[in-house]
Structure 1
Amino acid sequence: MNDLASIRQVADHFDLPISTLHYWERRGLITPYRHFGHRHYNADQIYRIALIRLWRATGQMSLDEIAAVLSERPDTSGWRETVTARIAAIEAQLTQLDTARSYLRGLLECRHDDALEHCEGFRAQVTLPAKNHQ
Protein backbone atom coordinates (compact mmCIF):
# COMPACT_ATOMS: atom_id res chain seq x y z
CA MET A 1 0.00 0.00 0.00
CA ASN A 2 3.01 2.33 0.29
CA ASP A 3 3.04 3.01 -3.45
CA LEU A 4 -0.61 4.14 -3.46
CA ALA A 5 -1.87 7.67 -2.87
CA SER A 6 -5.14 8.36 -1.10
CA ILE A 7 -7.95 10.16 -2.86
CA ARG A 8 -7.35 13.19 -0.62
CA GLN A 9 -3.65 13.27 -1.57
CA VAL A 10 -4.49 13.06 -5.27
CA ALA A 11 -7.27 15.65 -5.04
CA ASP A 12 -5.00 18.07 -3.16
CA HIS A 13 -2.07 17.45 -5.50
CA PHE A 14 -4.12 18.27 -8.60
CA ASP A 15 -6.29 20.90 -6.90
CA LEU A 16 -9.44 18.95 -7.75
CA PRO A 17 -12.56 18.39 -5.69
CA ILE A 18 -12.89 14.79 -4.55
CA SER A 19 -16.28 14.76 -6.25
CA THR A 20 -14.50 15.22 -9.60
CA LEU A 21 -12.45 12.09 -9.03
CA HIS A 22 -15.65 10.23 -8.04
CA TYR A 23 -17.33 11.45 -11.23
CA TRP A 24 -14.39 10.42 -13.41
CA GLU A 25 -14.53 7.01 -11.77
CA ARG A 26 -18.27 6.68 -12.52
CA ARG A 27 -17.53 7.64 -16.13
CA GLY A 28 -14.94 4.85 -16.31
CA LEU A 29 -12.03 7.24 -16.87
CA ILE A 30 -10.10 6.17 -13.78
CA THR A 31 -10.05 3.08 -11.62
CA PRO A 32 -8.95 3.50 -8.01
CA TYR A 33 -7.96 0.64 -5.78
CA ARG A 34 -10.12 0.04 -2.75
CA HIS A 35 -8.56 -0.52 0.64
CA PHE A 36 -10.91 -0.82 3.60
CA GLY A 37 -13.54 1.06 1.58
CA HIS A 38 -11.23 3.98 0.71
CA ARG A 39 -10.03 4.91 -2.75
CA HIS A 40 -6.30 4.88 -3.52
CA TYR A 41 -4.43 5.43 -6.77
CA ASN A 42 -1.25 3.89 -8.13
CA ALA A 43 1.24 5.75 -10.34
CA ASP A 44 -0.49 4.71 -13.59
CA GLN A 45 -3.84 6.04 -12.38
CA ILE A 46 -2.20 9.26 -11.17
CA TYR A 47 -0.64 9.75 -14.62
CA ARG A 48 -4.08 9.09 -16.13
CA ILE A 49 -5.60 11.75 -13.85
CA ALA A 50 -2.84 14.16 -14.92
CA LEU A 51 -3.68 13.46 -18.58
CA ILE A 52 -7.39 14.01 -18.06
CA ARG A 53 -6.74 17.27 -16.22
CA LEU A 54 -4.30 18.44 -18.91
CA TRP A 55 -6.64 17.52 -21.74
CA ARG A 56 -9.54 19.29 -20.05
CA ALA A 57 -7.52 22.44 -19.41
CA THR A 58 -5.26 22.81 -22.43
CA GLY A 59 -6.82 20.55 -25.05
CA GLN A 60 -10.31 21.72 -24.28
CA MET A 61 -11.48 18.14 -24.63
CA SER A 62 -14.86 17.05 -23.38
CA LEU A 63 -15.12 14.08 -21.07
CA ASP A 64 -16.75 12.14 -23.91
CA GLU A 65 -13.73 12.83 -26.12
CA ILE A 66 -11.37 11.87 -23.31
CA ALA A 67 -13.33 8.68 -22.71
CA ALA A 68 -13.07 7.84 -26.41
CA VAL A 69 -9.32 8.36 -26.39
CA LEU A 70 -8.70 6.46 -23.15
CA SER A 71 -11.05 3.57 -23.97
CA GLU A 72 -9.33 2.60 -27.19
CA ARG A 73 -7.27 -0.54 -27.10
CA PRO A 74 -3.56 0.01 -27.75
CA ASP A 75 -3.72 -1.96 -31.02
CA THR A 76 -6.33 0.36 -32.57
CA SER A 77 -6.00 3.91 -33.81
CA GLY A 78 -9.59 5.13 -33.36
CA TRP A 79 -8.37 7.59 -30.74
CA ARG A 80 -6.50 9.40 -33.53
CA GLU A 81 -9.81 10.35 -35.15
CA THR A 82 -10.98 11.94 -31.91
CA VAL A 83 -7.72 13.87 -31.52
CA THR A 84 -7.73 14.93 -35.19
CA ALA A 85 -11.31 16.23 -34.84
CA ARG A 86 -10.35 18.13 -31.66
CA ILE A 87 -7.39 19.74 -33.46
CA ALA A 88 -9.70 20.82 -36.30
CA ALA A 89 -12.14 22.35 -33.80
CA ILE A 90 -9.32 24.22 -32.04
CA GLU A 91 -8.01 25.52 -35.37
CA ALA A 92 -11.51 26.79 -36.22
CA GLN A 93 -11.67 28.52 -32.83
CA LEU A 94 -8.27 30.11 -33.46
CA THR A 95 -9.54 31.47 -36.78
CA GLN A 96 -12.61 32.92 -35.05
CA LEU A 97 -10.46 34.45 -32.31
CA ASP A 98 -8.12 36.01 -34.88
CA THR A 99 -11.12 37.52 -36.66
CA ALA A 100 -12.55 38.83 -33.38
CA ARG A 101 -9.18 40.36 -32.44
CA SER A 102 -8.96 42.10 -35.83
CA TYR A 103 -12.45 43.56 -35.45
CA LEU A 104 -11.73 44.77 -31.92
CA ARG A 105 -8.41 46.33 -32.92
CA GLY A 106 -10.21 48.04 -35.77
CA LEU A 107 -12.73 49.47 -33.34
CA LEU A 108 -9.91 50.89 -31.23
CA GLU A 109 -8.63 52.71 -34.32
CA CYS A 110 -12.05 54.00 -35.33
CA ARG A 111 -12.54 57.77 -35.39
CA HIS A 112 -16.26 57.43 -34.64
CA ASP A 113 -16.07 56.93 -30.87
CA ASP A 114 -19.72 57.87 -30.44
CA ALA A 115 -21.08 55.60 -33.20
CA LEU A 116 -18.87 52.57 -33.82
CA GLU A 117 -21.20 51.20 -36.48
CA HIS A 118 -19.96 54.07 -38.71
CA CYS A 119 -16.35 52.83 -38.72
CA GLU A 120 -15.15 52.53 -42.30
CA GLY A 121 -13.17 49.35 -41.62
CA PHE A 122 -16.19 47.63 -40.13
CA ARG A 123 -18.52 48.82 -42.88
CA ALA A 124 -16.12 47.57 -45.56
CA GLN A 125 -16.44 44.03 -44.19
CA VAL A 126 -20.24 43.90 -43.94
CA THR A 127 -22.43 42.98 -46.89
CA LEU A 128 -25.83 44.68 -46.92
CA PRO A 129 -28.91 42.83 -48.15
CA ALA A 130 -29.80 43.37 -51.79
CA LYS A 131 -32.46 46.01 -52.44
CA ASN A 132 -35.82 44.69 -53.50
CA HIS A 133 -36.61 45.96 -57.01
CA GLN A 134 -40.39 45.89 -57.44
Structure 2
Amino acid sequence: MDDLASIRQVADHFDLPVSTLHYWERRGLVTPRRRFGQRYYDADQIYRVALIRLWRTTGQMPLNEIIAVLAEPADTSDWRDTVTARIAAIEAQLTRLDTACGYLRELLACPHDAALEQCEGFRARIALPPKGRG
Protein backbone atom coordinates (compact mmCIF):
# COMPACT_ATOMS: atom_id res chain seq x y z
CA MET A 1 0.00 0.00 0.00
CA ASP A 2 3.03 2.28 -0.32
CA ASP A 3 1.63 3.72 -3.53
CA LEU A 4 -1.72 4.56 -1.91
CA ALA A 5 -2.68 7.50 0.30
CA SER A 6 -5.33 7.29 2.98
CA ILE A 7 -8.42 9.44 2.77
CA ARG A 8 -7.11 11.46 5.73
CA GLN A 9 -3.78 12.10 3.95
CA VAL A 10 -5.55 13.23 0.78
CA ALA A 11 -8.02 15.42 2.69
CA ASP A 12 -5.25 17.06 4.71
CA HIS A 13 -3.02 17.54 1.67
CA PHE A 14 -5.75 19.38 -0.26
CA ASP A 15 -7.22 21.10 2.80
CA LEU A 16 -10.58 19.38 2.30
CA PRO A 17 -12.95 17.88 4.83
CA VAL A 18 -13.07 14.10 4.62
CA SER A 19 -16.82 14.47 4.12
CA THR A 20 -16.14 16.28 0.82
CA LEU A 21 -14.22 13.28 -0.49
CA HIS A 22 -17.07 11.01 0.64
CA TYR A 23 -19.54 13.25 -1.20
CA TRP A 24 -17.43 13.30 -4.36
CA GLU A 25 -17.30 9.51 -4.19
CA ARG A 26 -21.10 9.28 -3.87
CA ARG A 27 -21.43 11.57 -6.91
CA GLY A 28 -19.06 9.33 -8.89
CA LEU A 29 -16.26 11.86 -9.19
CA VAL A 30 -13.63 9.77 -7.41
CA THR A 31 -13.21 6.05 -6.90
CA PRO A 32 -10.95 5.19 -3.99
CA ARG A 33 -9.76 1.68 -3.34
CA ARG A 34 -10.88 -0.03 -0.18
CA ARG A 35 -8.77 -2.02 2.20
CA PHE A 36 -10.31 -3.34 5.41
CA GLY A 37 -13.14 -0.84 5.06
CA GLN A 38 -10.79 2.15 4.69
CA ARG A 39 -10.56 4.36 1.60
CA TYR A 40 -7.21 4.76 -0.16
CA TYR A 41 -6.35 6.79 -3.25
CA ASP A 42 -3.86 5.89 -5.96
CA ALA A 43 -1.94 8.56 -7.91
CA ASP A 44 -4.57 8.83 -10.67
CA GLN A 45 -7.33 9.44 -8.12
CA ILE A 46 -5.17 11.96 -6.25
CA TYR A 47 -4.65 13.89 -9.49
CA ARG A 48 -8.40 13.71 -10.04
CA VAL A 49 -9.02 15.17 -6.56
CA ALA A 50 -6.53 17.95 -7.38
CA LEU A 51 -8.31 18.68 -10.65
CA ILE A 52 -11.75 18.79 -9.03
CA ARG A 53 -10.48 21.06 -6.26
CA LEU A 54 -8.81 23.36 -8.81
CA TRP A 55 -11.98 23.60 -10.87
CA ARG A 56 -14.10 24.25 -7.78
CA THR A 57 -11.85 27.05 -6.51
CA THR A 58 -10.24 28.76 -9.49
CA GLY A 59 -12.62 27.73 -12.24
CA GLN A 60 -15.65 28.22 -10.04
CA MET A 61 -17.27 25.16 -11.59
CA PRO A 62 -20.29 23.63 -9.91
CA LEU A 63 -20.19 19.88 -9.38
CA ASN A 64 -22.73 19.16 -12.10
CA GLU A 65 -20.38 20.77 -14.65
CA ILE A 66 -17.40 18.87 -13.27
CA ILE A 67 -19.37 15.64 -13.54
CA ALA A 68 -20.14 16.47 -17.19
CA VAL A 69 -16.49 17.23 -17.94
CA LEU A 70 -15.19 14.10 -16.22
CA ALA A 71 -17.86 11.79 -17.64
CA GLU A 72 -16.65 8.67 -19.38
CA PRO A 73 -16.34 8.95 -23.16
CA ALA A 74 -19.37 6.67 -23.53
CA ASP A 75 -21.55 9.41 -22.04
CA THR A 76 -23.35 11.68 -24.47
CA SER A 77 -22.26 14.92 -22.83
CA ASP A 78 -19.66 16.93 -24.68
CA TRP A 79 -17.20 18.25 -22.11
CA ARG A 80 -15.95 20.92 -24.50
CA ASP A 81 -19.38 22.58 -24.51
CA THR A 82 -19.35 22.63 -20.71
CA VAL A 83 -15.86 24.14 -20.59
CA THR A 84 -16.72 26.70 -23.29
CA ALA A 85 -19.81 27.77 -21.35
CA ARG A 86 -17.77 28.06 -18.14
CA ILE A 87 -15.18 30.23 -19.92
CA ALA A 88 -17.98 32.50 -21.20
CA ALA A 89 -19.42 32.79 -17.68
CA ILE A 90 -16.00 33.65 -16.22
CA GLU A 91 -15.36 36.23 -18.95
CA ALA A 92 -18.75 37.85 -18.23
CA GLN A 93 -17.89 37.91 -14.54
CA LEU A 94 -14.51 39.49 -15.33
CA THR A 95 -16.29 42.20 -17.30
CA ARG A 96 -18.63 42.89 -14.37
CA LEU A 97 -15.69 42.97 -11.94
CA ASP A 98 -13.72 45.29 -14.20
CA THR A 99 -16.72 47.63 -14.37
CA ALA A 100 -17.06 47.52 -10.59
CA CYS A 101 -13.37 48.32 -10.10
CA GLY A 102 -13.60 51.25 -12.50
CA TYR A 103 -16.64 52.61 -10.72
CA LEU A 104 -15.00 52.28 -7.29
CA ARG A 105 -11.83 53.99 -8.53
CA GLU A 106 -14.02 56.78 -9.88
CA LEU A 107 -15.70 57.15 -6.48
CA LEU A 108 -12.30 57.42 -4.77
CA ALA A 109 -11.47 60.35 -7.03
CA CYS A 110 -14.87 62.03 -6.62
CA PRO A 111 -14.77 65.35 -4.72
CA HIS A 112 -18.23 64.73 -3.18
CA ASP A 113 -16.94 62.81 -0.15
CA ALA A 114 -20.06 62.81 1.97
CA ALA A 115 -22.57 62.74 -0.89
CA LEU A 116 -21.34 60.12 -3.34
CA GLU A 117 -24.69 60.08 -5.12
CA GLN A 118 -23.70 63.59 -6.28
CA CYS A 119 -20.66 62.21 -8.11
CA GLU A 120 -20.82 63.37 -11.73
CA GLY A 121 -19.32 60.11 -13.02
CA PHE A 122 -21.95 58.10 -11.19
CA ARG A 123 -24.76 60.31 -12.41
CA ALA A 124 -23.54 60.03 -15.98
CA ARG A 125 -23.87 56.22 -15.80
CA ILE A 126 -27.38 56.11 -14.39
CA ALA A 127 -30.49 56.50 -16.51
CA LEU A 128 -33.33 58.13 -14.64
CA PRO A 129 -36.93 57.09 -15.24
CA PRO A 130 -38.86 59.43 -17.51
CA LYS A 131 -40.69 62.27 -15.84
CA GLY A 132 -44.37 61.73 -15.93
CA ARG A 133 -47.58 62.03 -14.14
CA GLY A 134 -47.37 60.14 -10.87
> TM-score, structure 2 length as denominator?
0.93
Can you give the 5+ residue segments of structure 2 that lack an aligned partner in the other structure? Answer: none
In structure 1, what is the equivalent of residue 55 of structure 2?
A: 55
| Preserved contact between residue 30 and residue 49 of structure 1 (Cα < 8 Å) | yes
Structure 2 residue aligned with 1:38 = 38
CA deviation string 1:71-123 (max 9, x = no partner): 14179770000000000000000000011011111111111111100001111
Corresponding residue number in structure 2 for 1:78: 78
Where do residues 55-134 of structure 1 align in structure 2 (5 Å cutoff)?
55-73=55-73, 78-132=78-132
What RMSD in Å do the two structures reach over aligned CA positions?
Answer: 1.7
> Identity rate of aligned residues, in percent?
75
TM-score normalised by L of structure 1: 0.93
How far apart are the structure 2 equivalents of 1:69 and 1:117? 45
Distance 1:5 1:63 in 2: 24
Gaps of 5+ in 1: none
Q: Within 2, Cα distance between the matches of 1:113 and 1:16?
A: 44
Structure 1 residue 2, shift from structure 2 partner = 2.2
* Structure 1 Cα separation of the partners of residues 11 and 127 of structure 2: 52
Q: Deviations over 1:41-68 (max 9, x none)?
A: 1111001000001111111111111011
How many residues align? The count is 134
